[in-house]
Structure 1
Amino acid sequence: MNKLNIQDTFNQELPADPNLSNTRRQVRGACFSYVTPRQPSNPVLVHASQEMAEAIGLAAGDTQSEEFLSIFSGATTLEGTSPYAMCYGGHQFGSWAGQLGDGRAINLTEVVHEGQRWALQLKGAGETPYSRTADGLAVLRSSIREHLCSEAMYHLGVPTTRSLSLVLTGDQVMRDMLYNGNTAYEKGAVVCRVAPSFIRFGNFQIFTARDEVSTLRSLTDYTIRHFFPHIEPGTPEAYAEFFKEVSQRTLDLVIEWQRVGFVHGVMNTDNLSILGLTIDYGPYGWLEGYEPDWTPNTTDRSQRRYRYGQQPGVALWNLVQLANALMPLVKDTVLLEASLADFQLKFPKKYLAMLRRKLGLATPDEGDAELAEELEKLLAYTETDMTIFFRNLSKVEKDGGLPANKTFFEHLQTAMYQPEDLNAALQQKWEDWLDHYLQRLQLETANDEERRTVMNNANPKYVLRNYMAQLAIDQADLGDFKLVDELYQLLKKPYDEQPEMEEKWFVKRPEWARNKVGCSMLSCSS
């Protein structure tokens, strides 16, 4: 891989752990520890993103080479590089957990191509000093989910880390998938994750918690220098401006999650990117029925801290923790509180603007908030598929016309899970809402086709529903990777009609998947 333009910075400019042994320990005064990936016994390439390969500077065909497989399975270390694991802490489910760190992730190197910096990271390539009691490995099911979802989110237009490759290691990994005492061996796998940086809120928190202000300053200055270069670091005002921009990126990220119905599932502070990217794809999911209280995480089943409707509130809570971490540099709480207040002020406005796009309302009107609120209530009352409903709503014309001369209720039923249970009162509420919506459309200057284009660019037709990922996992576990690629190709064009795929994938979650393991809620086990 001598084609890669290697330009390491994180492990060149920041303090390193002087202890080179790969033993579990508390790491002090360092941003990372050097560590070598574990040798896989028999690596096999499952899938690679040619698009991502080209983005880091590889040529067509490189992903099929033995050298590619060797490097991105962890078998070979790139010449001139020094792989490492990051040190960070974090709040997990609202409680401070102390040191966490890259327990199953190993950063290989950084490359620069066409002016863009990329960090390459292997997930599942072995233990690190931060692995605590874990083995540092990952299994095929979770690796398929991360590989597919990373790329699906990118093509949805949601800020995200990316995935270059997915490799079977040839090793068996013991896991208790549901944390219920039923352990079993699963196939081991490694994903190569790619992002400009994998720095998280928790990277800053750990140094403040330990009163290591010098290291905190070094990390913050590094982050600003490389990723916020328009800010001149070194003053309280500069660090406050840095926090303001992180807050804005986080707000924009959560708005995009809400737009497509994505639920992260584990919004711990160590799982929030300082760059406003979706990071760490564990027990995530997309809303099937529109249910604001839904979380895909079995660990969060009782508390539902990370449910869909709470994601904006948790993002703000996490930003408060980051603000606390930056206090030794900013010193004045007023400077940081201004950004937190700005988040609270802007969120409802940006959220409504996002809903207007989904509804095809280009000209703001004072009644839009009420229209949107009533719709969200109805979607929840009637267990209506969010993705299908919004996509189909674009077919409604200003004069109330619908495809095949259907009534609105007949058209709506295609998105409802239990339409036969809808009583007359709810049906009337839906009809009343449509009347309200049609009246509102009369204020729009765009014609039906123009409005439909705007709506279809805001409302994806295809998302990675959990049952779809599980079908690919089941086939891959039998050695058949065709469905992995089929879904990968489908999700590269989530807003396109793709009529050849409509009957198969533009459908509600099948009833057999409602409570099936892997198709509804998932654990953090990977």
Structure 2
Amino acid sequence: MKNLKINNRFTAELPADPELKNEIRQVKNTLFSYVNPAKPSNPELIHASEEVVALVGISKEEIHSDEFLNVFSGKDILPKTQPYAMCYAGHQFGNWAGQLGDGRAINLTEVENNNQFYTLQLKGAGKTPYSRTADGLAVLRSSIREYLCAEAMHYLGVPTTRSLSLILSGDQVLRDILYNGNPAYEKGAVVCRVAPSFIRFGSFEMLTARNELKNLKQFVEYTIKHYFPEIKGKPKEQYIQFFQKVTDTTRGMILHWQRVGFVHGVMNTDNMSIHGITIDYGPYGWLENYDPDWTPNTTDSQNRRYRFGNQPQVAQWNLFQLANALYPLVNEAAPLEKILDSFIIDFEEDYKIMFLNKLGIFTSSDTDDKIVKGLEEILQLSETDMTIFFRNLSQIKKEDSVEQAFEKIEYAFYFPMEIKDKILDAWQKWLSVYLKRLKIETLSDEERALKMNQINPKYVLRNYMAQLAIDAADKGDYSLVDELFHLLKNPYDEQPESEKWFAKRPDWARTKVGCSMLSCSS
């Protein structure tokens, strides 16, 4: 990979762990530990994203080279690089967890291309000092889910890490998929993911919790210098601006999640990026039927802390923890509190505009709150597919009757026989108000439909789709991985040849492992 431009700023400028032994331990007064990936026994390339490969400065022709396979499986180390695992802490499910760190992620290097910097990170490449009781490896099913989802999110317009490659390790990995005492061996795999950096809220939490304030100051200033160069002023002013920037991008990310119906599933502070990008695709899922209380995470099934409807509030809570971590540098609560207090206010204003745009409403009216709240309630009266409902809503025309409008959204109902009596009456009343509201819009039906279809995706990575690809890949058939990868590159396009994927969750997927709820090992 002759054109790859190595630039290891993170390891060159920040304090390293002096201990080079790869032993699980508490690592203090440092931000990372040098560690080499585990060597896979028989790596095999399953898929690579040509767009991401080009993004970091690798040629398309090099994808199928031995060097590409060996580097991105962890078998060989790039010249002039020293792989490392990052040390950070975090709150997990609302509780302080102490040191966490890259337990199954190893950063290969930073590269520079077209005046942009990217960190290349292998997920599932083996044990690190932060692996705790785990082996640092990943299985094929979770790797397929991560690889496909990150790219799907990018093309949906959601800020995210990117996926460069998906490689089979050739090794067997022992996993208890449901944490019920029935472990089994599965195929191992490694994903190379790409981001500006993998710095997390928990990176700063760790330093403050340990009172490593010199390192905290150095790390915040490093982060501002390299990732927020537009921030100027005295140090204290810069720290406040930094927090404002992270708050703003985090709000934007969550807004996109709510727009497309994505549920992260494990919004711990160690899974929150300072870049406002989605990281760590574990037990995620898309809403099938519109249910604000749904979470895909089995670990969260009782309290549902990370349910769809609670993601904005969790984001604010996580930002509060980041504010606490930055407080020793600011030494003043008021400016941080002001930013935090405005988070939900600003989010709710943005959310209302976003939701109205999904409905094809691009002007303001006194009836807008009623339309939004009314729809959020009515969507829950009977299982209604979120993706299909909003996509088909664009077919409604201003001059349609209530009956005609209803026919155009009817396909979104999982149990059409339930849409009668009070439920049918509620839909008819809402559609009547909605049709009147559309008449105020100045856009033609065709113009409005075009704009709506750029906001409401036709195709998302439903869990059952990912599971079908996983089942086929387990048998050595990777064609469905490739098919879904290309389908999800154009999620807003009609793609008539792929209409079969514009479908409600099939009945068999309602309770199937991997299709309804997932564990953190998923």
- Deviation, 1:342, is 1.7
In the TM superposition, residue 244 of structure 1 has moved relative to its aligned partner by 0.7
Post-superposition offset of 1:409 = 3.0
Distance in structure 2 (CA, Å) of the matches to 1:110 and 1:20? 20
Partner residue, 1:327: 327
Report the secondary structure of 2:412's partner residue.
coil
**CA offsets 1:254-287 (integer angstroms, 9 cap, x no match):** 0000000000000000000000000000000000
- 2:506 is equivalent to residue 510 of structure 1: yes
- Residues 170, 234 of structure 1: alpha-carbon distance in 2 compared, 3 angstrom cutoff: farther
Deviation for aligned residue 1:234: 5.5
Q: Deviations over 1:205-247 (max 9, x none)?
A: 0000000001111110111011110113762221011001100
Give, in angstroms, the shift of residue 463 of structure 1.
Answer: 0.0
Q: Is the 8 A contact 2:105 2:122 kept in 1?
A: yes
Q: 1:37 to 1:233 in 2, by over 3 A?
A: farther
SS at match of 2:154: helix
- Please point out which of 474, 477, 491 is paired with 2:471: 474
- 1:343 corresponds in structure 2 to 343
* C-alpha separation in 2, matches of 1:94 and 1:328: 22
Q: How does 1:398-417 map to 2 (within 5 A)?
A: 398-400=398-400, 407-417=404-414
Distance 1:401-1:505 versus aligned 2 partners, 3 A rule? farther
**In the alignment, what sits opposite 2:36?**
36
Corresponding residue number in structure 2 for 1:156: 156
Deviations for 1:148-177, whole angstroms, at most 9, x for unmatched residues?
000000000000000000000000000000
- 1:61 alignment partner, SS class: helix
Q: For 1:119, what is the secondary structure of its paired residue?
A: strand
Question: Aligned letter for 1:337?
Answer: E
Preserved CA contact (<8 Å) 2:396 2:408: no
Partner SS for 2:164: strand
Contact 2:37 2:75 in 1 (8 A): yes
Query: Partners of 1:520 and 1:281 in 2: how far apart?
Result: 16
Shift of 1:401: 6.2
Q: CA deviation at 1:423?
A: 2.7
- Who is 1:293 aligned against? 293
Per-residue deviation, 1:115:
1.3
What is the correspondence of 1:119-130 to structure 2 with a 5 Å cutoff?
Answer: 119-130=119-130
Structure 1, residues 62-119: CA drift from partner, whole Å, max 9, x if none? 1111110000000000000010000000000000000000000000001111111110
Between the aligned partners of 2:364 and 2:35, the Cα distance in structure 1 is 54
CA distance in 1 between counterparts of 2:142 and 2:401 reads 44
* Contact 1:300-1:306 within 8 A present in 2 as well: yes
Per the alignment, residue 83 of structure 1 pairs with 83
Tell me the amino acid that sits aligned with residue 246 of structure 2. V
1:82-121 matches, within 5 Å, as 82-121=82-121
| 1:396-421 Cα distance to aligned partner (Å, 9 max, x none) | 0010169xxx7333332200001112
Partner of 1:192: 192
Moved more, 411-420 or 34-43: 411-420
Q: Which residue of 1 aligns with 2:515?
A: 519
SS of structure 2 residue aligned to 1:177: coil
Residue type at the aligned position of 1:482: S
Q: Which residue of 1 aligns with 2:455?
A: 458
The whole-number CA distance in structure 1 between the counterparts of 2:452 and 2:406 is 20
| CA distance in 2 between partners of 1:410 and 1:364 (Å) | 27
Match of 1:447 in 2: 444
Aligned-partner SS, 1:457: coil
Opposite residue 371 of structure 2, the aligned amino acid is L
Question: Aligned partners of 1:97 and 1:279: how far apart in 2?
Answer: 19
Measure the CA separation in 2 of the matches of 1:366 and 1:237. Answer: 40
- Using the TM superposition, give the Cα deviation of residue 2 of structure 1 relative to its aligned residue in structure 2, in angstroms: 2.4
Which of 472, 476, 498 is the equivalent residue of 2:495?
A: 498
1:11 is matched with 11
Deviation (angstroms), 1:493 = 0.1
What SS does the corresponding residue of 1:380 show, helix, strand or coil? coil
Identity of aligned residues (%): 62
- Listed as ranges, the matches of 1:159-178 within 5 Å are 159-178=159-178
Q: Distance in 1 between matches of 2:233 and 2:475?
A: 53
Task: Please give the per-residue CA displacement for 1:296-351, whole angstroms capped at 9, x wherever unaligned.
Answer: 00000001000000000000000000000000111100010111112122011000
Which digits, 9 at most, give the CA deviation of each residue in 1:129-150, with x for residues without a partner? 0001100000000000000000
2:312–2:344 Cα contact (<8 Å) kept: no
Which 4+ stretches in 1 moved above 6 angstroms?
none
SS of residue in 1 equivalent to 2:21: coil
Q: 1:408·1:431 contact (CA, 8 Å) conserved in 2?
A: no
Give 1:467's aligned amino acid: Y
**In 2, are the aligned partners of 1:221 and 1:234 still within 8 Å (CA)?**
no
| Structure 2 residue identity aligned to 1:501 | S
User: What residue in structure 2 maps to residue 419 of structure 1?
Assistant: 416
Matched letter for residue 182 of structure 1: N
Instruction: Note if 1:378 corresponds to 2:378.
Output: yes
Aligned residue number for residue 368 of structure 1: 368
Match of 1:272 in 2: 272
SS in 2 for 1:483: helix
Structure 2 residues not aligned, in runs of 5+: none
The aligned amino acid for 2:386 is: M
Question: How well do the aligned residues superpose, as a CA RMSD in angstroms?
Answer: 1.0
Q: Distance in 2 between matches of 1:149 and 1:461?
A: 15
- 1 CA distance for matches of 2:126 and 2:157? 32
What per-residue deviation string (whole Å, max 9, x for no partner) do you get for residues 456-483 of structure 1? 0100000000000000000000000000
In structure 1, the partner of 2:140 is: 140
Contact 1:265 1:282 survives alignment (8 Å): yes
Q: Alpha-carbon deviation of 1:498?
A: 0.2
- Describe the superposition over 1:26-63 as per-residue Cα deviations: whole angstroms up to 9, x where unpaired: 11110000000000000000100001001111112211
SS of aligned partner of 1:291:
coil
Shift of 1:422: 2.2
> Partners in 2 of 1:63 and 1:151 — Cα distance?
17
Q: Which amino acid aligns with 2:142?
A: S
On the 8 A contact 1:41/1:170 being kept in 2, the answer is yes
SS of the aligned residue for 1:342 comes to helix
Deviation track 1:164-198 (CA, whole Å, cap 9, x = no partner) reads: 00000000000000000010000000000100111
In the alignment, structure 1 segments of 5+ residues that lack a partner are: none
TM-score normalised per structure 1: 0.98
Deviates more, 1:231-240 or 1:322-331: 231-240
Match of residue 73 from structure 1: 73
- Is 1:392 the counterpart of 2:389 in the alignment? no
